[in-house]
Structure 1
Amino acid sequence: MKMIWKTRRMGGLAAACAGLALAAGPAAAEELNYSVGFGPNSLFAQSADAYAEYMNEISGGELTIRVFPLSLVSLAEMGPGIRDGLTDLGFMAGPYYPAEFAHSNYLAENSLRQLLSEPTGREGAAYAGAMTDYIMNGCPECLDEYEAQNHVYMGHMSTSPYLSLCKDVTIDSLEDVQGVRFRSGSSSYQRMAENFGGVAVQLAASEAYEAMNQGILDCAWLAASDLTSLRLIEIVDSVTVQFPGTVYGGSQASNVNRDLWAGLSLEQRELLLRGAAYINAHMTWSYYELQAENLNMAREQGVDVIEPDAEMMAAVQDYVRDDVELVGQIYADNYGITRADEIANEFVEVLDRWNGLVDGVGSIDDLAEIYWTEIFSKVDPETYGVN
């Protein structure tokens, strides 16, 4: 199944942005390079294509995006690639840079807290909104880290809850976890795997297919959408839901090179802010839309979709209660974060608010409008990201 998401009709604010661009006068059209370290059929590249179409539409063709999937700059090189201007914008996975973006990565690891609440189905939409909102408005240390890397921060996206996507392994109890090799993309997942007797293997999501096919991995901790986005449906024979069960909200969808940003007009910066609301929403909601669809498809193809037993779920929650108390100290010791508890407490309040804000969301456009209204429309393009 090929995933294609097109831009929908422009809403009122998007149309207003288009009017702003057209009224701005005879400024020369500008094309920006956008790098995404995944293949062209991945969810990320498809969202990037929709973002490019959207930017062309709202700018009246005056500010366009050229998408480079799996080329120009790789996922592992995206941080310095944006910093050094090898790409104008890019999709960056924060855990590749634990020290450079320590505060943002710390916030991302707090997603485990969601496992202590009743599932809503919109955890990713809330988490991406809360991450972006808090970093822009309540975490000066976070913004300092982006400035130090010559980035302009443009918000986070989030996956849907991660599952155990397994080959030749079935997991429905704690005993089944012993010795199983899990793809774990961040230190929080590494700690969880090792706590329950598994083996954590840190590698990029794009490498999971080959690693499982070659017997390097038994299971990949990824989202249901990756069954199609990364073609894992071809090799996976069992899926355990709710383990690990938390979203991954540590990726920035469209950070901008700071030098480039400084040379843009105020109108162009505002358009990129509007575009950031859109691409964050597009990636995040696409994960949500594909979750149920892909799990149903997996069942139809004979994949065993498993609900873990009650003992396992209780153990996971006990583990989370302990881990959220430890993670702040880990980041203080390893990366020098000085107010970890204060940041976590403030962030939880923001996240609670966002759980309510996204409750009625039903589409990419709905979510993009909320991200714009609640966050990006309040950013001053004259001062934001400028020394």
Structure 2
Amino acid sequence: DTYLGEFSLLNDKPLVMTGVLNELVLFNCPDCEQEYRDFNTRPLATYALTPYVYHCREELKTIDDFKGKRVRGIAAYAELARALGATPINVSPDEAYEALDRGILDCALHSVAAQKARSYGEAAKFVILDPLGGFFGASTMNMRIEKWNSLTPDQRKAVTGNLAEMVTGAIFNYLKEDEDVIDEYTKTGTKFYHADPEFAEFVSSFAQEYQDQAVAKGEEKGIAHPQEIADEISRLREKWTKLLEENGTDRETYQRLLDEEIFSKIETDAEY
């Protein structure tokens, strides 16, 4: 699960990566399945968060502006900070507000909604909207294996038949929350803007190049098949990008695709 988080930089489109993550964990990652089994857990659903962005105390627009700055950086984001010439600081999302307020951090890393949800807007009035990817890898819904096995096939279908709606609601609510926060906090003085084009190009290039580092870290952590997992993430990313381009990204269509491609395929007639 921690290894999957190393690929968060690829999550510039949460609708795509939500499909990727669910299909990967539920059907296309034997190592993932075994890890859940080791924790006596039947995974059922997850989602990818909306992209992380930088919430900064001052307006930063170029790569050079980041040199020497102290930026919240965890996992792959620590490497991104170093690549930008900044110093990564490992603090939790809850600690980041105080760190911003005291000047320990120049920029915090979180979704746009953190302006309100975590009060970053009180200390950081400059939000760079260029997406940095976003965390994915946490389970949204799971069940103890013995509990799942105790259900009848019809009861299991009652669960799986509603997973697409639950996941769709979660991700669309996060997208709407980000939009609402931009509207609300623009009125209270926060500047939401895009950095110079070179910044977005740098982040995108770094995300692609970092995959080799991610695989190497997986090997160091003892992941059995790190390259295979990385390749499957890339394959599924292409699949879900194409699916959404061909079918659309409205809420109803997205829910249908999740159900058809993933949740309707969960085996409910046999024990896990």
Under a length normalisation based on structure 2, what TM-score does the superposition of the two structures give?
0.87
Aligned-residue offset at 1:207: 4.0
Please say if 1:112 is aligned against 2:9.
yes
Q: Residues 255, 245 of structure 1: CA spacing in aligned structure 2 closer, same or farther, 3 A cutoff?
A: same
| Equivalent pair of 1:124/1:160 in contact (CA under 8 Å) | yes
**1:73-121 CA distance string (max 9 Å, x none):** xxxxxxxxxxxxxxxxxxxxxxxxxxxx3xxx33343343466xxxxxx
Please say if 1:356 is aligned against 2:245.
no
Q: How does 1:29-108 map to 2 (within 5 A)?
A: 101=1, 105-108=2-5
**Which amino acid in the other structure matches residue 112 of structure 1?**
L
Distance of 1:113 and 1:160 partners within structure 2: 12
Q: Residues 368, 321 of structure 1: CA spacing in aligned structure 2 closer, same or farther, 3 A cutoff?
A: closer
Please say if 1:194 is aligned against 2:91.
no
**1:144-198 CA distance string (max 9 Å, x none):** 00110112112221122211112x33221122223333333x4111211122222
SS at match of 2:228: helix
Distance of 1:241 and 1:325 partners within structure 2: 26
SS at match of 1:301: coil
Aligned-residue offset at 1:366: 4.1
Aligned-residue offset at 1:199: 2.7
Distance of 1:232 and 1:366 partners within structure 2: 34
Q: What RMSD, in angstroms, separates the aligned Cα atoms of the two structures? A: 2.4
Percent identity of paired positions between Structure 1 and Structure 2: 23
Distance of 2:172 and 2:72 partners within structure 1: 23
| Equivalent pair of 1:159/1:284 in contact (CA under 8 Å) | yes
Equivalent residue, structure 1, for 2:118 = 230
Equivalent residue, structure 2, for 1:341 = 227
Q: How does 1:309-328 map to 2 (within 5 A)?
A: 309-328=196-215
Match of 1:303 among 181, 190, 211: 190
Under a length normalisation based on structure 1, what TM-score does the superposition of the two structures give?
0.63
Q: Residues 149, 323 of structure 1: CA spacing in aligned structure 2 closer, same or farther, 3 A cutoff?
A: same
Match of 2:22 among 111, 132, 143: 132
| Equivalent pair of 1:295/1:305 in contact (CA under 8 Å) | yes
SS at match of 2:161: helix
| Equivalent pair of 1:112/1:324 in contact (CA under 8 Å) | no
**Which amino acid in the other structure matches residue 305 of structure 1?**
F
Aligned-residue offset at 1:268: 2.7
| Equivalent pair of 1:162/1:247 in contact (CA under 8 Å) | yes
Distance of 2:240 and 2:158 partners within structure 1: 24
SS at match of 1:302: coil
**1:121-144 CA distance string (max 9 Å, x none):** xx1011011111122221111100
Distance of 1:248 and 1:311 partners within structure 2: 23
SS at match of 1:358: helix
Distance of 1:142 and 1:197 partners within structure 2: 34
Distance of 2:44 and 2:16 partners within structure 1: 16
Aligned-residue offset at 1:276: 3.1
Distance of 1:188 and 1:139 partners within structure 2: 21
Aligned-residue offset at 1:336: 1.6
Equivalent residue, structure 2, for 1:18 = none
Q: Residues 263, 355 of structure 1: CA spacing in aligned structure 2 closer, same or farther, 3 A cutoff?
A: same
Unaligned runs of 5+ in 2: none
Unaligned runs of 5+ in 1: 1-100, 116-122
Q: Residues 271, 199 of structure 1: CA spacing in aligned structure 2 closer, same or farther, 3 A cutoff?
A: farther
| Equivalent pair of 1:208/1:220 in contact (CA under 8 Å) | yes
**Which amino acid in the other structure matches residue 115 of structure 2?**
L
SS at match of 1:321: helix
Aligned-residue offset at 1:221: 1.2
**How many residues get paired?**
270
| Equivalent pair of 2:72/2:96 in contact (CA under 8 Å) | yes
Equivalent residue, structure 2, for 1:263 = 150
Distance of 1:286 and 1:141 partners within structure 2: 31
Equivalent residue, structure 1, for 2:171 = 284
Distance of 1:202 and 1:260 partners within structure 2: 37
**1:247-276 CA distance string (max 9 Å, x none):** 322222112222322333333322222343
Deviates more, 1:105-114 or 1:188-197: 105-114
